[in-house]
């Protein structure tokens, strides 16, 4: 359905995340992947959604000139807890510390998605609340050893073992926790196609 509406557009997903690629595949649209390097630092005064909105926009700047029919889609996901942004761990020790911090607590997963064309830029975002059970030391060690989630915000993938055994409750979009609020991406692309 959306594929036909977007037939005159060239959709470029600017993400190296295999999860985002899979989610885009399941939206049933034609797209290509083009990842550009960008310094993902942000002003320290920013909080929560302001951070992910800023970084999603920042990633789009790496593309410079954009062709008339192109839509560049960039995004950023972070874990937000106790007014602190929890990004990707630098190493195993940091990943372990992150999981201990999330254990038995509620945190928010925030994803912003930026749609950039030659003529416009639109940013959407979504927030999902996640409640984890209290993890044992053995569970954390097993997960880190077996899944090595060092490329993931908060050091976990909701679709992996830790999500199966550890999530007590979710409030909001499951796919947002994976890194893409799919229903909002679909809605936005439909609006763009209809405009």
Whether 22 sits among the annotated catalytic residues: the reply is no
Q: Name the maximum alpha-carbon separation found in the chain.
A: 53
Catalytic residue among 25, 76, 126, 194: 76
Long-range contacts of 96-102 (CB under 8 A, 24+ apart): 96/140, 96/141, 96/144, 96/155, 98/154, 98/155, 99/135, 99/140, 99/143, 99/144, 99/155, 99/156, 99/162, 100/135, 100/140, 102/132, 102/154, 102/156
* Strands 121-132 and 106-116, bridge-based pairing: antiparallel
Q: What does the alpha-carbon distance between residue 124 and residue 115 come to, in Å, rounded to a whole number?
A: 8
What tokens were used for 59? 């990633």
The Cβ-side half-sphere exposure at 50, using a 13 Å CA radius, reads: 8
CA distances from 162 to 64, 132, 134, 145, 148 (A): 39, 9, 11, 12, 11
Q: Which residue bears the tokens 């609020």?
A: 181
Catalytic residues: 76
């Amino acid at each position: 359905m959306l594929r036909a509406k977007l037939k005159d557009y060239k959709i470029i997903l600017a993400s190296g995340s295999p999860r985002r690629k899979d989610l885009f595949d399941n939206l049933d649209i034609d797209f290509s992947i083009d990842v550009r390097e960008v310094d993902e630092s942000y002003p320290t005064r920013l909080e929560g959604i302001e951070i992910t909105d800023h970084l999603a926009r920042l990633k789009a700047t790496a593309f410079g000139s954009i062709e008339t029919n192109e839509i560049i889609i960039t995004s950023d996901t972070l874990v937000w807890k106790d007014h602190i942004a929890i990004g990707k761990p630098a190493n195993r020790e940091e990943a372990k510390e992150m999981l201990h911090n999330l254990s038995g607590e509620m945190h928010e997963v925030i994803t912003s998605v930026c749609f950039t064309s030659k003529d416009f830029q639109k940013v959407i975002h979504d927030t999902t609340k996640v409640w984890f059970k209290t993890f044992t030391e053995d569970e954390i060690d097993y997960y880190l050893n077996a899944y090595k989630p060092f490329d993931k915000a908060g050091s976990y993938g909701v679709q992996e073992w830790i999500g199966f055994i550890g999530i007590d409750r979710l409030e909001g979009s499951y796919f947002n926790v994976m890194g893409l609020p799919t229903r909002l991406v679909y809605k936005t692309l439909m609006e763009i196609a209809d405009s």
